[in-house]
Structure 1
Amino acid sequence: MSVILARGRMVAREALGDARERAMALRERCFVTLGGAKADADEFDALCSHVLIEDAAGRALCSFRWRVFEPGAVSGAASAEAYDLASLAEWPGRLMEIGRFCTAPEARDGEALRLAIAVLTRLVVEARATLLFGCASFPGTDSEPHGPSLAWLGAHHLAPAGLRPDRRAAETRGLAGPMTDPRAARAGLPPLLRSYLGMGGVVSDHAVIDRRMNTLHVLCMVDLAAIPPGRARALRALAFGP
């Protein structure tokens, strides 16, 4: 099995064979058993590469899938089922879609997420991708509890008009709404989304209600050339060493 990166007690590997089965089992646990999704596996799994992060005992801690698109080819992306990606089709460079990102409950101390971000950095550099995109999910399909966080995103991280995807899904809601406590609104963001925003990520102007996955999600996009210099140096050091 091909090891991508190792840090301390954890190793990230390309999920093939038995490792792929362990990654899918972790997804089933996170999205279906714990998250209430109707189903997790889909036709895009066969088109994507998969990453599995495990500890020294062989416990599956984190998993995600990724796929690279040439300019103009994003109509085949998984997120194109929920968003009109015509704006991304105009992007001049390679794009990488990240999906089905999940972390085991016992690994939510941030260590596995940091290794996953390091792996993402390495994959992006090796693929020569210039834009990272994917759905960032909030738990459940009731948008009201997440209203302040969505409003915070709309106020601070809305994608520019030229990059913003149009609506396609049957059920959506805009980001506008009351936000009495900005600190609490930001604290309500999923950890992965906070990481993307720290890289300069921007989001769609609406959220999609996904009843199959029992989530509410926004499309997040990160222009790799626009990552703040200090953050870019930290990411490279995390992925390739100082």
Structure 2
Amino acid sequence: MSSRVQDDASGEDGLILSRGRFQARSAAGAEDVKAAQALRGLAFFGPGKGPDADALDGRCRHVLVEDETGQLLACFRYLWLETSAEIGRSYSAQYYDLSRLEGYGGPLIELGRFCTRPGLVDPDVLRLAWGAIAALVDRGGARLLFGCASFTGTDAARYDPAFGVLRARHAAPARWQIGVKAAEVVRFSPATSEARGALKLIPPLLRTYLGMGGWVSDHAVVDRQMNTLHVFTGVETAAIPPARTRALRAIAG
């Protein structure tokens, strides 16, 4: 399968990456953003609930993954920060005390609102989305990917085994520890169950981050509006396992 990468500003369609019958491109204007918001609403809230939109959409760049017919299959948005001192501008900073990360350095990328069309089962779409992210990271030299990884629903007890595994195996390094800021949070208790069953409770997107060496906060935020529990997640690009880096760059290459 052939692939190609272009700068955000190159090409009339803002193409980032194409592979086979799929392409990832930057949103070209308001209509593209509206299409992404509509897909997000469908993915997060179900049919007939309307689009998902917030104030941060205007400050983010949006990436759309489409097939050869132009159908939107997946999307995500990202906020590019030249320096970690700007991390207070991020979506995550509304819910977490990120003061320790202000000294991390930069550039950084906050990823958010990552979703696919409900019922989509083609893994090549997700591979292309991750290839596009890898291309953006390499192009700008981002040192840290971060964002909020969500668990569906707000029943914390359901996810206690998963939270225990996150605390035991994937806690943020002490120097980057994420503080509590939100009014309603769930503190992680020590692991009490067999890890294999607990891992099944961790959402696929978060498992992907963890597979790249990602780490998380020691608590989850209860988001009633989105009907989720989410955890802060950071991936230091220099620490991504070499085999995973090669695989992502092969897609982006």
Out of 53, 63, 69, the position equivalent to 2:65 is: 53
Write the deviation string for residues 3-28 of structure 1: whole angstroms up to 9, x where unpaired. 11112221111112332222111011
Quote the offset at 1:34 in angstroms: 5.9
Greater mean deviation of Cα atoms: 51-60 or 70-79: 51-60
Residues 138-187 of structure 1 show CA distances to partners (whole Å, capped at 9, x for unaligned) of 10111111111111111111111111210001111112245423112112
Residue 210 of structure 2 corresponds to 197
SS at 1:192 equivalent: helix
Identity of aligned residues (%): 47
- Decide which of 32, 44, 47 is 2:56's aligned counterpart: 44
Residue of 230, 242, 251 corresponding to 1:217: 230
Q: What SS class does the counterpart of residue 100 from structure 1 fall into?
A: strand
Show the counterpart of 2:39: 26
How far did residue 40 of structure 1 move?
A: 2.8
Whether the aligned pair in 2 keeps the contact of 1:39 and 1:212 (CA below 8 Å) is no
Question: SS in structure 1 opposite 2:76?
Answer: strand
Partner letter of residue 141 of structure 2? Answer: R
Alpha-carbon contact 2:40-2:51 (below 8 Å) kept: no
Q: Which whole-Å CA distance do the structure 2 matches of 1:29 and 1:225 have between them?
A: 35
Sort the Cα spacing of 1:155 and 1:7 in 2 relative to 1 into closer, same or farther, 3 A. same
**Mapped contact 2:106–2:143 kept (Cα < 8 A):** yes
Evaluate the alpha carbon distance shift between residue 217 and residue 39 of structure 1 in structure 2; reply closer, same or farther with a 3 A threshold: farther
Q: Specify the alignment match of 1:7 in structure 2.
A: 19
CA shift for structure 1 position 111? 2.5
Does the 8 A contact of 2:37 with 2:51 survive in 1?
no
Contact 1:40/1:213 (<8 A) preserved = no
Higher relative contact order, chain-length normalized (CA < 8 Å, sep 6+): 1
Corresponding letter in the other structure for 2:65: I
Question: What is aligned with 1:236?
Answer: 249
Tell me how far apart the structure 1 counterparts of residues 118 and 194 of structure 2 sit (CA, whole Å): 27
Provide the aligned length of Structure 1 versus Structure 2.
239
Which residue identity does 1:48 align to in structure 2? C
**Aligned CA-pair RMSD:** 1.8
Structure 1 window deviating more from structure 2 (23-32 vs 200-209): it is 23-32
Distance of 2:142 and 2:153 partners within structure 1: 32
Tell me which amino acid in the other structure corresponds to 1:146. Y
Task: Report if the CA contact (8 A) 2:100-2:175 is conserved.
Answer: yes
Query: Any conservation in 1 of the 2:64–2:76 contact (CA below 8 Å)?
Result: yes
Structure 1 segments, 4+ long, off by >3 Å, are none
Moved more, 209-218 or 24-33: 24-33
Q: Which runs of 5+ in 1 are unaligned?
A: none
Could you tell me whether the CA contact under 8 Å between 2:17 and 2:23 is conserved in 1? yes
Map 1:179-190; keep pairs closer than 5 Å: 179-190=192-203
Partner amino acid, structure 2, of 1:185: A
> Are 2:164 and 1:151 equivalent residues in the alignment?
yes
Give the 3 Å change call, closer, same or farther, for CA 108–188 of structure 1 in structure 2: farther
CA distance in 2, matches of 1:190, 1:34: 21
Larger CA deviation: 93-102 vs 172-181: 172-181
How far residue 217 of structure 1 moved from its aligned partner, in angstroms, is 0.5
Match in the other structure for 1:68: 80
SS in 2 for 1:105: coil
1:238/1:19 Cα in 2 relative to 1: closer, same or farther (>3 Å)? same
TM-score (norm 2): 0.89
1:3 maps to amino acid = L
Q: Distance in 1 between matches of 2:24 and 2:201?
A: 28
Cross-structure match for 2:110: 97
